[in-house]
Structure 1
Amino acid sequence: MTTVTDKTVTKPEPAAAGRPARKAHAGWQSTPSVIALRMLVIVAALLLWQVMSGPVVPEYAVSKPTEVYDALTTMLGSAAGWNDIKVTAVEVLAGFGLGVAAGTVMGLFLGSFPLLGRVLEPLVAAVNGIPKIALAPLFLLFFGIGPWSKITIAMTGVAFVVFYNIYLGLRLRERELVEVVQVMGGRRHHVLGYVTIPTLAAPFFAALKTGGPLAILGVIGGEFIASSEGVGHELFTAAQNLDAASEFAGLIVLVALTLSLNGVLTALDSYALKRLGLAARRRPQPKK
């Protein structure tokens, strides 16, 4: 007679066994760790730049981080340097604001009248196909070398981006939702508040974030071609004088200007979507 004895074997749960590794992996992905790694990468790049400038890469072409720092402090410590930054910042903000206004009006107008949109859309696409920097000499003839020529160049680049996002957003608006609001007795302002604005919010703020760098690009391009002041003028002068340190100092100022504008637009985006009740759509769903 054979007797079978049951033996219970306890095995570690896979989830419990992998938990320490997951915690360690999650620790490296925390915000302080990511910031520390970013700073480490920046410091390593600067050290590599300092060491390679001269023995490997010609110093006149890339300068050195220490020389760039001296040029940046000289620029920020002079009234002329701050005047150049102010001129460029004013031109960027004016061109960006006017471009957003013009693009929004064009997008809403052509998007609200389908027949007119179908007639004019190919013409708008043809004008948009022209490189904006190629229009700079024309704007210089109209407005001279003053700030308005740079503002117009920046406005042109931003306006088309905003226009297409608004125009396509209106075309993709769900007709069923509009009809539901109308059947329930809603009027134009109800359709605008409950359907149109929530539909256009995301593409509109995406256009703003895309248009910010385009505004800076347009202004700097215009200052490169013809100007007597501004960061772009200083960059062009530094390039002519083979002054790599001042060139990199100007680029650092432009990066700071871009990051500042993007930060403001990101905060405005989050606030507007939160007020509209759309912020929850962007949050990643928890994994089960």
Structure 2
Amino acid sequence: MQFGRLGMVAVLLAVWQVASGRWVDEFWISKPSAIWDVLWGWISRGEILTHLEATLTEMALGLFFGALGGVVFGFVLGRVKWLAELIDPLVTAVYSLPKIALAPLFILWFGVDLLSKVVLTAVVCFFLVFYNTYAGVRAVDDDLVDVVRVMGGQRSDLLLKVVLPSSATWIYTGLRLAVPYALIGAVVGEIVASNKGLGYLLAHAAGTFNTSATFAALFILMIIATFLNFLVDWSEKITSRRQ
């Protein structure tokens, strides 16, 4: 299967290389060799490290705080029904807002530095993790809860031995969805206002009509997103084995 995928990618790159400049104007689609030249130039000059550090820091902090808040609020509202019914209209109203449209407002409030990108990323990730966690907690089998209570289990036992294991799959689903959106939030914040980061590279390349650099930035983002999703899948497997 792996060799088949590698072969498919190799064929796609070969066709792309041949088609560029022959069947399609290179200005529109560039070509793999030109994209590699741009990537190697960024790497050899060490330029890419600064941009990677900025984007990954924004993404990691935003994902951490957004996921943490989503899990905590998801558990609280999932277990306290009257509180969930009370604030549900407010949560729904905020969730319905296009999160990307909040980027200019956050930059106005928090400036163009790290904080505005972290807040935007956290907000984007929060709702994805929150709704999945909330649904997972609400879907816990009531019979299991009753059994633990009959056996003298405390509230901590219910949370750690019933609610958390039962909702773990839902939480990881939310995390899996949040990971690429964390990257999107950080990049969009950089596109709106920044002087470093992969989003800045992407905006600068597009603004100067540099197709090769645009594809190079997109390629780096694709690699990062794929690696992060692999980490989420791996951590889910490890956690499942321990439960």
Report the TM range for the smaller structure's normalisation: over 0.9
Distance 1:219 1:249 in 2: 18
SS in 1 for 2:56: helix
8 Å CA contact retained: 2:66, 2:121: yes
Q: Does 1:75 align with 2:42?
A: yes
Q: Which amino acid aligns with 1:98?
A: F
> Which stretches of structure 1, 4 residues or longer, exceed 4 Å deviation after superposition?
none
* Cα deviations by residue, 1:109-149 (Å, 9 ceiling, x for unpaired): 21121011012122211111111110001100011111111
Counterparts of 2:220 and 2:210 in 1: how far apart (Å)?
A: 16
CA shift for structure 1 position 79: 2.4
Deviation per residue, 1:26-69 (Å, 9 max, x gap): xxxxxxxx111111111111111111112222211211111101
- TM-score normalised according to structure 2 size: 0.97
Q: Counterparts in 2 of 1:186-201, with a 5 A limit?
A: 186-201=153-168
Give the Cα separation in 2 of the matches to 1:35 and 1:62.
27
| Residue identity matched to 1:194 | K
- Give the distance between the partners of 1:81 and 1:194, measured in 2 at CA: 45
2:72 corresponds to 1:105: yes
Give the aligned residue type for 2:96. G
- 1:180 maps to which residue? 147
Question: What is the number of equivalent residue pairs in this alignment?
Answer: 243
SS of residue paired to 2:13: helix
Please state if 1:244 is matched with 2:214.
no
Task: Please state how far the C-alpha of 1:159 moved relative to its aligned partner.
Answer: 0.5
Q: Which has the larger radius of gyration?
A: 1
Equivalent of 2:186 in 213, 219, 234: 219
Displacement of 1:224 after TM fit?
0.8
| 2:113 aligned with 1:153 | no
Listed one character per residue, the Cα deviations across residues 210-263 of structure 1 (whole Å, up to 9, x for unaligned) are: 100000011111111111100100110001111111111111111111122112
| Cα pair 2:66 2:123 within 8 Å, conserved | yes
- Equivalent residue in structure 1 for 2:242, among 268, 271, 275: 275
Greater RCO structure (CA 8 Å; 6+ sep): 2
Residue 258 of structure 1 pairs with residue 220 of structure 2: no
Tell me, in whole angstroms, the C-alpha distance in 1 between the residues paired with 2:114 and 2:28. Answer: 31
Structural mapping, 1:20-31, within 5 Å: none
The match for 2:4 is 37
2:136·2:168 contact (CA, 8 Å) conserved in 1?
no
Q: Normalization by structure 1: what TM-score?
A: 0.82
Q: Is the 8 A contact 2:100 2:185 kept in 1?
A: yes
CA distance in 2, matches of 1:111, 1:246: 46
Q: 1:137 aligns with which of 104, 118, 122?
A: 104
Larger helix proportion, structure 1 or 2? 2
Q: CA deviation at 1:105?
A: 1.6
